[in-house]
Structure 1
Amino acid sequence: MIIPLAHYKMFSHFSTSNKSQFLIGATSSGCGKTTLTIGLLRAIRKRGLQVQPFKCGPDYLDPKHHAIAAGKNAINLDSFLASAGHIKSLYSYYGQQADVCVTEGVMGLFDGYKDMQGSSAEIAGILDQPVILIINARSSAYSVAPILYGFKHFQPHIRIVGAIFNFVSSPTHYDYLRQACQDTGVEALGYLRKCQSIEIPSRHLGLSIDTEFCLDEFAEQVATEVEKTIDIQRLLEVTSQPFPQPAEESTEAISPASGLRISIAQDEAFNFIYAENIRSLKKLGQVTFFSPLQDTQLPPSDFVYLPGGYPEFYLQRLSANQEMRQSLLAYCQSGGHLLAECGGMMYLGEFIADAEGKKYPMCQYLPQAATMENMKLKLGYRKVICNGQEWRGHEFHYSRIVAGSVPSLPRTQVYNAQGTKVDTPIYSLNRTIASYIHFYWGEKTDFISMITGRT
């Protein structure tokens, strides 16, 4: 599907000076986007430059790695969860103080939930970002030429300004790849050599969160490789262009509109949180963070947010902290407003069973339980229609609910990105809303107002 240039509206106001900014796209998944992004973020930072990372799509894991490499929180840019106007606002607001803005794409450059919709290319088009294409050069040489040519010309308004190759075996191998670039009019900016020490280990939910895997050291390793074989200075030069000025309302200091006391679970077990969701909550009230692993009491709260994360890796500690479990149970039973997503919902149940079937008691508020037995991935974008209002999010989990009888939120339908109804329930008990869906409300704070009853 060819999308005309007119589909994208350019920013109307630009800063007087240029700024290096680019999107790292790939020909397919598995090319090494995340490894390259981590290395570039750290290498640019080591040059004394402030670098702001962004991530295409709803992913929570890559932004955590970006933050460690760059020293700044990464921001998700997702065209299913948010409008083009909101994406532009996020980009200009978070990028305004940085010297360089780096966006990591998702999957292949043109891969979306429907044709190009939701793709990295769509984000690049919305933001008018130049694209650096990373190509897996393993077992290939000059044959990358037609790949480069096709990607460059498929959507001419998506500006591919340079290419970087991964898994390159030798300088001679790179010479063939560089010749392919020259013959197709795409500038070769360097390569990463084939090196097992800069490959991120896998885990069942994506990139590793093993405590023995030190991402800070890994970022240093990749940055060292990047500095050896990638022309960073040239990359910054070819991607320099005027940066959009943030909208006036985006630059205003946050002033809570009410005295709403908002408590958010955040620790090793619960940390799947969009930065913009938190910023929008700070506009509604006073935000306090607490740890279900370490704290014994819930802070004084008018609204509690239990995000997703990795409760399955901390079952013994979560179960052993009976004081916190009792505190949350009492809050919910007394009619406190609470939103629980994915792992947060699992924590509110009677128990969580690990992969071997061992059961660990949890908060025992929701009359249902979750298990990691016979794990099977369920994922996808979700559109929720409730009482005529539309909310968006995504689902990504391996656990499943067992032995449950929690009522669903009335007058609610859930659809996937293609508009097909899906069987993802949204539970409603007293004033608790719980679901496997991770919601994005950075653009629509009335979602939280609806949950808290403060419209």
Structure 2
Amino acid sequence: MSRHSCPALLVTAPSSDSGKTTVVAALARYWRNRGKRVRVFKTGPDFIDPIFHEVASGAPAHQLDLGMMGEAACRRHLAQAATEADLILIEGVMGMFDGHYSSADLAARFGVPTLAVIPAAKMAQTFGAIACGLAHYREGVTLFGVVANQVGGPGHAELLKHSLPETIEFCGWLPRDDSLALPDRHLGLVQATEIPDLEAWLDGAAAKLGESCAMPLPAPVVFDPVAEDPALLALGEPLGGRTVAVAEDAAFAFIYRDNLSLLRRLGADLVHFSPLKDPLPACDALYLPGGYPELHREALVANRPLMAQIRAFADAGKPVVAECGGMLYLLEQLADKEGQCTEMTGVLPGRAQMQPRLQGIGMLSAEIGGHSLRGHCFHYSSSDIGLEPIAIATQAGRMRASEPVYRQGSVVASYVHWYFPSAPALVADWFGGRCR
């Protein structure tokens, strides 16, 4: 296997809410509009930001998370992208050095230079001090350049630029402009598919960033290829000849692209459908990922024929895998924060209610049938489910979050958004109707 090189930047910041997603999307669209092939990744288990990057770049966006995916899987993604792209962009998570597997850790592990987005409102030369601090806080991380956000105008931008040492590139600025702020809600940004005129917004953000600077790029990074996991190779295609129906629409959109890739790698044919409006396609197994069923209760209930089909499907012993919002959809009732209930499909005994505060967050793993399956939870609902868990997904470290994993017949459900490639044999059993 040959090595490939490609310019790459990990876009980071001093803290969350600094404008990383806007800058990454603007950069991806800027270079795409100039004929470059751009591949974008998102650090961490985020589902929403990658869709903006897919629209901006015109190519699939995947997660890069050392804790959930492991180093080998991250290396495979980067090496593959280097064979296809002229530029790799990686959006970081939280602040540059925050978390057990931080953005800085990822940059150091793969030798990718960083680009810091620094909010500069009400700031002048201190901008340079923050950039120097990010550059020198730890060894093994290279700060290639910075983008200034929330800038008052060209004069302010010049002050910021001249506060930097010569070793740090000034890679442009974005103004204080409410139109550049992406709207958000309780689980993060509003989904890309819900934003009108997104294409025009991306072109506008790209133009504003590009007008401010010559847009320098770093030298190419060499990415070594990584062979496919031998355990996955040994599995073959146990789902060959089986069709998996995947719910995907505004209510169910939290899907790791790697999960779908794994199902195809295991031999499954995938058919996508919308629980908001479609019947259940002809299929052998059903995948209900997370999303926002609480925002679409009326439309989901209006599709009563689908609810009946799903109940019949589960009663017939057909495999169903439900994650977070998908699990809420299978319950008997889902209530809003005020307690107003909506009848759901009734496949699983119990109810859930939306809460004003976060109820669960963290990277978790569960031991099921001799396999260790990893994933992430992030939810604002609480639930009362009348089943004994088959396992408890737990979090390492001090925070010790935990989530039950339920099984009723061939239905497996949990608040956890699973990363399927962490336990491909178990996933093959679930979708193949061989629950353990």
TM-score normalized by the length of structure 1: 0.88
* In 1: Cα distance, 2:338 partner to 2:321 partner: 29
Residues 88-107 of structure 1 aligned to structure 2 (within 5 Å):
88-107=75-94
| Aligned-pair CA distance for 1:202 | 2.3
| Aligned-pair CA distance for 1:326 | 0.8
Distance 1:279 1:94, change over 3 A: farther
SS of the residue 2:78 aligns to: helix
SS of the residue 1:328 aligns to: helix
User: What is the root-mean-square deviation in Å for CA atoms of aligned residues?
Assistant: 2.4
SS of the residue 1:138 aligns to: coil
Q: Are residue 190 (structure 1) and residue 172 (structure 2) matched?
A: yes
Distance 1:348 1:332, change over 3 A: same
Aligned to 1:453: 434
State the AA in 1 paired with 2:353.
T
| Aligned-pair CA distance for 1:246 | 5.8
> What is the aligned counterpart of 1:318 among 274, 297, 300?
300
* In 1: Cα distance, 2:200 partner to 2:412 partner: 40
| Aligned-pair CA distance for 1:149 | 2.1
Aligned to 2:274: 291
SS of the residue 2:97 aligns to: coil
> What is the aligned counterpart of 1:134 among 99, 117, 121?
117
- Are the counterparts in 1 of residues 271 and 281 from structure 2 also a CA contact under 8 Å? no
Query: How much identity, in percent, do the aligned residues show?
Result: 31
Q: Are residue 201 (structure 1) and residue 188 (structure 2) matched?
A: no
| Aligned-pair CA distance for 1:156 | 2.5
SS of the residue 1:424 aligns to: strand
SS of the residue 1:360 aligns to: strand
Aligned to 1:241: 221
Aligned to 1:40: 27
- Are the counterparts in 2 of residues 26 and 33 from structure 1 also a CA contact under 8 Å? yes
Residues 298-377 of structure 1 aligned to structure 2 (within 5 Å):
298-301=281-284, 303-377=285-359
| Aligned-pair CA distance for 1:239 | 4.1
| Aligned-pair CA distance for 1:175 | 2.4
- Are the counterparts in 2 of residues 298 and 324 from structure 1 also a CA contact under 8 Å? no
State the AA in 1 paired with 2:251.
A
- Are the counterparts in 1 of residues 76 and 225 from structure 2 also a CA contact under 8 Å? no
- Are the counterparts in 2 of residues 290 and 299 from structure 1 also a CA contact under 8 Å? no
> What is the aligned counterpart of 2:162 among 179, 183, 199?
179
| Aligned-pair CA distance for 1:423 | 4.2
| Aligned-pair CA distance for 1:46 | 0.4
| Aligned-pair CA distance for 1:161 | 1.1
SS of the residue 1:309 aligns to: coil
Distance 1:202 1:289, change over 3 A: closer
SS of the residue 1:296 aligns to: coil
* In 1: Cα distance, 2:362 partner to 2:229 partner: 32
Q: List gaps (5 residues or longer) in structure 1.
A: 1-11
Deviations 1:220-245 (A, max 9, x none): 2211211111322x2x2x24333444
- Are the counterparts in 2 of residues 355 and 375 from structure 1 also a CA contact under 8 Å? no
Aligned to 1:9: none
When the two structures are aligned, how many residues end up with a matched partner? 428
State the AA in 1 paired with 2:220.
S
Q: Are residue 14 (structure 1) and residue 14 (structure 2) matched?
A: no
- Are the counterparts in 2 of residues 192 and 230 from structure 1 also a CA contact under 8 Å? no
- Are the counterparts in 2 of residues 130 and 239 from structure 1 also a CA contact under 8 Å? no
SS of the residue 2:421 aligns to: coil
| Aligned-pair CA distance for 1:53 | 0.8
Deviates more, 1:285-294 or 1:53-62: 285-294
Aligned to 1:69: 56
State the AA in 1 paired with 2:365.
K
Distance 1:388 1:413, change over 3 A: farther
> What is the aligned counterpart of 1:170 among 137, 153, 162?
153
Deviates more, 1:281-290 or 1:56-65: 281-290
Deviations 1:34-81 (A, max 9, x none): 111111111111001111110000000100111111111211001110
Deviations 1:300-321 (A, max 9, x none): 21x2211001111211111111
SS of the residue 1:364 aligns to: coil
Q: Are residue 378 (structure 1) and residue 365 (structure 2) matched?
A: no
| Aligned-pair CA distance for 1:420 | 5.9
| Aligned-pair CA distance for 1:95 | 4.1
> What is the aligned counterpart of 1:267 among 249, 255, 279?
249
| Aligned-pair CA distance for 1:110 | 0.9
Aligned to 2:389: 408
Deviates more, 1:165-174 or 1:129-138: 165-174
Residues 68-87 of structure 1 aligned to structure 2 (within 5 Å):
68-87=55-74
* In 2: Cα distance, 1:271 partner to 1:190 partner: 33
TM-score normalized by the length of structure 2: 0.91
* In 1: Cα distance, 2:3 partner to 2:206 partner: 31
* In 1: Cα distance, 2:404 partner to 2:348 partner: 14
Aligned to 2:264: 282
- Are the counterparts in 1 of residues 372 and 423 from structure 2 also a CA contact under 8 Å? no
State the AA in 2 paired with 1:207.
L
* In 1: Cα distance, 2:299 partner to 2:323 partner: 20
| Aligned-pair CA distance for 1:256 | 4.3
State the AA in 1 paired with 2:132.
Y
State the AA in 2 paired with 1:14.
R
SS of the residue 2:39 aligns to: strand
Distance 1:328 1:279, change over 3 A: same
Distance 1:447 1:126, change over 3 A: farther
State the AA in 2 paired with 1:200.
L
- Are the counterparts in 2 of residues 39 and 69 from structure 1 also a CA contact under 8 Å? yes
> What is the aligned counterpart of 1:215 among 198, 216, 234?
198
* In 1: Cα distance, 2:133 partner to 2:399 partner: 33
State the AA in 1 paired with 2:19.
G
